[in-house]
Structure 1
């Protein structure tokens, strides 16, 4: 989950501003997009925490990955700058929720030294996810078309959503 968060976060922060400029938006719009991505991330944290305390943590993670994935895929098809920024804001909130879910689940499962080890593993997962996120989306934009960047990022997150759903179904306690 941390790798998926890092993949999406770095793809959104580093590659999508490049996408916006390539699609004819101004450099100012591209810079503004990063702010619009980041602000909702902070604003929704209390809501995400509330949901994690009162609902299924796996469901919050699945919904967050799905919303982020759909937001990425939608970006090339949204005709207005206000619509793009709205999708970007939703994307930012959903992406940050993934990390909050991962940290919460780590704290649920581990204590003491295992928790410290899990935190260290998160650092490795973040590094690998961020390297793949910028490489894959940048390469897709260069080799295929600019719109391939956000679309491939969305597909990766939607595939991750499917993996989480499958994992939830396989590992569900018997009823």
Structure 2
């Protein structure tokens, strides 16, 4: 196994998590200070999701033309330029356009990077290696809000820090080789419905975690402010959620190499459902802090296990194509989650964020108990 390449690719993708962890809360807090409502903030949070859908349709063709490594480097630099422009031009419509471009560019990096990581992983270590990547990414997001607290939210240092991180990520890929082979159609994004039909539980887990991640970095700090907490505590809540995600991904990956991955998948879904329902009830008590940890760990576990199962099932072109569909589902989750929760928070309930997550977790639990992980395999076994 190419350990140097594995850590370089992980580092490049993780640089995105840290950059987004710094800039996404800053965008939301800046909009809040400008007087925008939660729906407008939700629209801004959902905008990169449209870019995700576009990026998923372009990744394969662009990788075939420019090469996987070169394309990932170019996209990281485009993302860096877009983040820098957030500091230079502070206008809501311009920010929407820039966030769209960020979504396109960074999606290509995610599709190719996660395919590369899964391709490198040997089967007996797949759970732990994918979880190690997930832990690193979650820690980068944890560090983002903490770093933003240190940098301050009244200046543009957060944007410039994000710019530097993305440039650094592109440099890590210099001279790296061994990515999955990609042709012009591998990650075209075609056949999403067929993918969801074959892997319904996995597909819903991806959508659910995407909505979770988009809301944790954008709407959770606002949720905390609206529930009476100060800005420092609201940002700390978002950080603690990511601590839960980061702290327990390696144990989840370790368990995934030693027990039924389906059983573990179900356990994460149930934990997410229970913790989501507990948040409104325990928000103003000390018990909320371990609840935030479980909330983050269970949501992160769903995505980690989804990646493990996909890597177990697919290789090369099929793996890249599957990750393109994951990116599309991610875009859908990032689009629907903040929009629906932002609207519900403004017009229905101040506790819409945890309640919407509970609704999504309930849907996952139903699928996990009533549908096969891979429907095509179930049909083959029945024959």
User: Taking structure 2 as the reference length, what is the TM-score of the superposition?
Assistant: 0.43
Alignment partner of 1:18 is 2:222:
yes
State the alpha-carbon separation in 2 of the partners of residues 46 and 160 from structure 1: 22
Deviations 1:47-66 (A, max 9, x none): 11111111111221121122
Give 1:110's aligned residue.
Answer: 314
Give 2:346's aligned residue.
Answer: 142
Give 1:64's aligned residue.
Answer: 268
**Aligned-pair Cα RMSD in Å:** 2.0
Aligned-pair CA distance for 1:27: 1.2
State the alpha-carbon separation in 2 of the partners of residues 163 and 134 from structure 1: 23
Deviations 1:75-108 (A, max 9, x none): 1100534322221111111111111101111011
Partner of 1:55: helix, strand, or coil?
coil
Alignment partner of 1:2 is 2:206:
yes
State the alpha-carbon separation in 2 of the partners of residues 88 and 79 from structure 1: 9
State the alpha-carbon separation in 1 of the partners of residues 352 and 231 from structure 2: 20
State the alpha-carbon separation in 1 of the partners of residues 283 and 218 from structure 2: 22
Alignment partner of 1:45 is 2:246:
no
Q: 1:35 aligns with which of 233, 239, 243?
A: 239
Matched-pair contact (CA < 8 Å) for 1:64–1:98 = yes
Aligned-pair CA distance for 1:23: 1.2
Matched-pair contact (CA < 8 Å) for 1:73–1:155 = no
Please identify the structure whose Cα radius of gyration is greater. 2
Aligned-pair CA distance for 1:139: 1.4
State the alpha-carbon separation in 2 of the partners of residues 18 and 69 from structure 1: 22
Unaligned runs of 5+ in 2: 1-204
Matched-pair contact (CA < 8 Å) for 1:70–1:158 = no
Give 1:54's aligned residue.
Answer: 258
State the alpha-carbon separation in 2 of the partners of residues 73 and 16 from structure 1: 15
Alignment partner of 1:132 is 2:336:
yes
* Matched residue count: 174
Partner of 1:80: helix, strand, or coil?
coil
Give 1:100's aligned residue.
Answer: 304
Matched-pair contact (CA < 8 Å) for 2:273–2:362 = yes
State the alpha-carbon separation in 1 of the partners of residues 365 and 245 from structure 2: 19
State the alpha-carbon separation in 2 of the partners of residues 79 and 164 from structure 1: 29
Give 1:121's aligned residue.
Answer: 325
Matched-pair contact (CA < 8 Å) for 1:11–1:153 = no
Give 1:167's aligned residue.
Answer: 371
Matched-pair contact (CA < 8 Å) for 1:7–1:131 = yes
Matched-pair contact (CA < 8 Å) for 1:45–1:97 = yes
